[in-house]
Amino acid sequence: MANRTKVEGVELGRTYSVCPVCLERLEARKIAYGESICLEKECSEHGPFKTLIWDGPPAYADWARECAPARPDACASPVDRGCPFDCGLCADHLQKSCCTLIEVTQRCDLGCPFCFASAGEDPKDDPSLGTVRGWLQTLLDSGGPYNLPISGGEPTVRDDLCSIIGMAGEMGFVFTQLNTNGLRIAREDGYAKKLRQAGLDCVYLQFDAVRDEPYGVLRGRPLWREKQEAVLRCAEAGLGVVLVPTVVPGVNDGEVGGILRYAFDHLPAVRGVHFQPVSYFGRYPGMPDAPRHMTLPALLRAIESQTDGELRAEHFHPSGAQNAYCGFNASFLLLESGEIRPMGAGGGCDCSAEAARKVRDYVARRWSPPKAEEGCQCACGGVDTGALDAFLRRVQTHSLVVSCMMFQDAWNLETDKLRQCRLHVAAPDGRMVPFCAYNLTATNGRTLYRPQEGRGDD
């Protein structure tokens, strides 16, 4: 039966990937079995691997979109072994950076069973403020300022986090985002206000469910109360919040609709929901023979079914300035009547050389807290614009960005997609490495780029 199925498959194309055991570069084939697309590859030492990457509708071919190359402003690595081994960036990379993440600690106050950074296992001393300043200067010298996610580990374990945020603003970074589990924000009176006063724009909040049970599986303990408190504290402080669910099939894929309803109920503090289907990076429970990935079409179907069709698959479009198969986005407006109206996709969908800048500006505008009320800025020729002003204010305060990023791991990596990545990590040695390559992890825990004993100081 397996052989007959193999014969019935149709090859759609070839790319390069890696063996999930040894991370060696391999040729991979995309094979169609009806509406399902699998990535198939074979290592001479470790045998064949097959991973589901698409199970439309929408149809795989219909989701495709051309993405014109926009080469990096600065390249730190020569082209030698080929993607994914020459990241830095190299001259073969096809997109400028939009967001470049810095990791300011490897310590963490959680021990999540799923953790792409394997945080807290053997943390070294936190990098000094001088070291962090050096990383930021390197980013400016490499084409920045980029949107700046501050990550870890858990960044809030650093008592000087506000100094880092303030330093970034003084150096010219115009949008600063905190990637956090939210525990300190929830527990410490006034902490969210301190972050806002330091110049923070957005809290990118780990948010996997609207009940306790999934947190027990994904994070090791119930956290629902703390998540709600963190959102409340951010709202009081005037901080924008993006809810970030890691979606694992069989664990919390039934929480999609509940998370979206929570987001609409907590506008304008909540600015977006950014779904991240699970990728097998860093620390995760034992891997089954066939890793369970949630495909982009499966997530779109979950959104539609769990919102009773208020948010439909047809409302979403490929994200801008990157490979179309890396994700999607759309914006929705909550009217005073309670109706949810689609506003379309946003952010650099033209894929020109300006696309990364457009996406960067779009994210900064939509994920930041809403500005004070402003009137209509168009030339209205003396027409009564009261209703229009009210609508524009509603758009500012009650629109929600719903997006997804399909990070690639060692099972489903396609180098064609990796070369179009616009989300990078500032490595300790000064290189800018695409997020998926930086976190690429073999079954034995080996990585290509992430330091496996944590970051040291200077």
Domain assignment present for residue 62? The answer is no
Q: Looking at the structure, do residues 41 and 107 belong to the same domain, yes or no?
A: no
Domain assignment present for residue 401? The answer is yes
Paired sense of beta strands 148-151 and 176-180, if any: parallel
Q: Looking at the structure, do residues 32 and 156 belong to the same domain, yes or no?
A: no
| Phi-psi group of 436: left, alpha or beta (phi > 0 → left; psi -120 to 50 → alpha; rest → beta) | alpha
Paired sense of beta strands 25-33 and 246-247, if any: unpaired
Closest CA to 16 of 29, 4, 6: 29
Domain assignment present for residue 46? The answer is yes
Q: Looking at the structure, do residues 151 and 35 belong to the same domain, yes or no?
A: no
Amino acid in position 375? G
- With a cut of 80, say whether residue 8 has pLDDT above it: no
Domain assignment present for residue 372? The answer is yes
- With a cut of 60, say whether residue 347 has pLDDT above it: no
- With a cut of 80, say whether residue 331 has pLDDT above it: yes
Q: Looking at the structure, do residues 274 and 143 belong to the same domain, yes or no?
A: yes
Q: Looking at the structure, do residues 194 and 259 belong to the same domain, yes or no?
A: yes
Q: Looking at the structure, do residues 39 and 108 belong to the same domain, yes or no?
A: no
Q: How far apart are CA 108 and CA 118, in angstroms?
A: 10
Do residues 138 and 426 make contact, with C-beta atoms less than 8 angstroms apart?
Answer: yes
Rounded to an integer, the average pLDDT of 1-12 is 63
What is the average pLDDT value for the chain, to the nearest integer? 87
Domain assignment present for residue 362? The answer is yes
Domain assignment present for residue 455? The answer is no
Q: Looking at the structure, do residues 116 and 39 belong to the same domain, yes or no?
A: no
Q: Looking at the structure, do residues 230 and 310 belong to the same domain, yes or no?
A: yes
- With a cut of 80, say whether residue 391 has pLDDT above it: no
Q: Looking at the structure, do residues 48 and 110 belong to the same domain, yes or no?
A: no
- With a cut of 50, say whether residue 349 has pLDDT above it: no
- With a cut of 90, say whether residue 14 has pLDDT above it: yes
Q: Looking at the structure, do residues 10 and 139 belong to the same domain, yes or no?
A: no
Domain assignment present for residue 339? The answer is yes
Q: Looking at the structure, do residues 32 and 177 belong to the same domain, yes or no?
A: no
For the chain, the domain total comes to 2
Q: Looking at the structure, do residues 185 and 123 belong to the same domain, yes or no?
A: yes
Query: For 412, what's the count of Cα atoms within 13 Å in the CB-facing half-sphere?
Result: 25
Mean pLDDT lowest among 6-10, 128-132, 159-163, 333-337 = 6-10
Q: CATH number, domain at 362?
A: 3.20.20.70
pTM of the model: 0.90
Q: How far apart are CA 282 and CA 90, in angstroms?
A: 24
Range of the domain at 28: 2-55
Domain assignment present for residue 343? The answer is yes
Residue 382's contacts (CB-CB under 8 Å, 6 or more residues apart) are: none
